[in-house]
Structure 1
């Protein structure tokens, strides 16, 4: 089920604390670009369809520990967000028909 926005942010913060304490590799799958930009060091975007593959990989440059407000005030955040949205909506929004 879906989480309300406050609970979702609290769980994201808790995940970052767990990661900071353990420094283990975490693979997270999400459809939420903002969540990915806040939590990830690398964003791997997939193409559509049954033959989906890695379409593009973006490195996320924000230092840790991360502060949500600080990141969202950074112009680089919106540059990365817009790039990811462009990838998802324009380049791979529809399966190739052919």
Structure 2
């Protein structure tokens, strides 16, 4: 079994409140979950209205599948015009590594 995760630090465009921030972040997280059947959540910078942390995790039968899903998630987030990716960190490990 292979486990992979990706974590984004993103900058949001024209957002002036935490309420506006959540109206931008929630649809992105929902789309990631729906499209790729993975776990995803806002994982950082909860108190800042123009920055956010978004994380997603996937489990799969082989390393290639997990890496492909993470690539697809990164492309989905990068295509969103209201979001600028400051950084993206990822990791893929085998369950045998634990």
**TM, length-normalised to structure 2:** 0.28
Could you say which structure has the higher strand fraction? 2
Could you say which structure has the higher helix fraction? 1
**TM, length-normalised to structure 1:** 0.28
